[in-house]
Amino acid sequence: MRLLLLAIGHKMPAWVDAGYREYARRFPQHLKLELVERPASPWASRGDVARGQREEADSLRAAIPRDARVIALDERGSAWTTRQLADRLDQWQLDGRDIALLVGGPDGLDPELRASAEQRWSLSPLTLPHPLVRIVVAEQLYRAHTLLSGHPYHRD
């Protein structure tokens, strides 16, 4: 099973790449975390946010593996505790399908793409900068993994 972090944007600052890589490298071989970057659409910066979101959604859809469980990162989604995320990760591993976690660009995910996801996960009611989301998701998934495996990283 793979955990795929499908994110809009590339050429992140060095601290973002380093933070993400620090957690991604800690995952075991049977549970890999992989980042797939897709380019941001130029349309949003030209004032056509809806067209930009649609183009980004098409790009993200093309990167989703067939039969993957799709989870949209969205501040309007459900907030999960660390234990709830660990329980979900456990169930996802039993299911065996790849997990595609979708991170939109500065204008967020296209509404249709967001609605089509099997689940919507809110990291916070705050709007987080999309580069930071990569690090937070990687750390939280790693934390959930360590909780399941009895590693002392997570302390209740």
Binding-site residues for S-adenosyl-L-methionine sit at: 73, 104, 123-128
Residue in the structure block whose two tokens are 């930009």: 52
Exposed/middle/buried for 46, CB within 10 Å: 0-12, 13-18, 19+? exposed
Please answer whether residues 8 and 38 qualify as being in contact, where contact means their C-beta atoms are separated by less than 8 angstroms.
yes
Alpha helix positions (H), the chain: 14-24, 49-63, 82-95, 111-116, 130-149
Q: Which of 138, 29, 19, 26 is nearest to 73 (CA)?
A: 138
HSE, side-chain direction, 13 A CA sphere, residue 96: 0
As annotated, the binding site includes 73, 104, 123-128
Exposed/middle/buried for 121, CB within 10 Å: 0-12, 13-18, 19+? buried
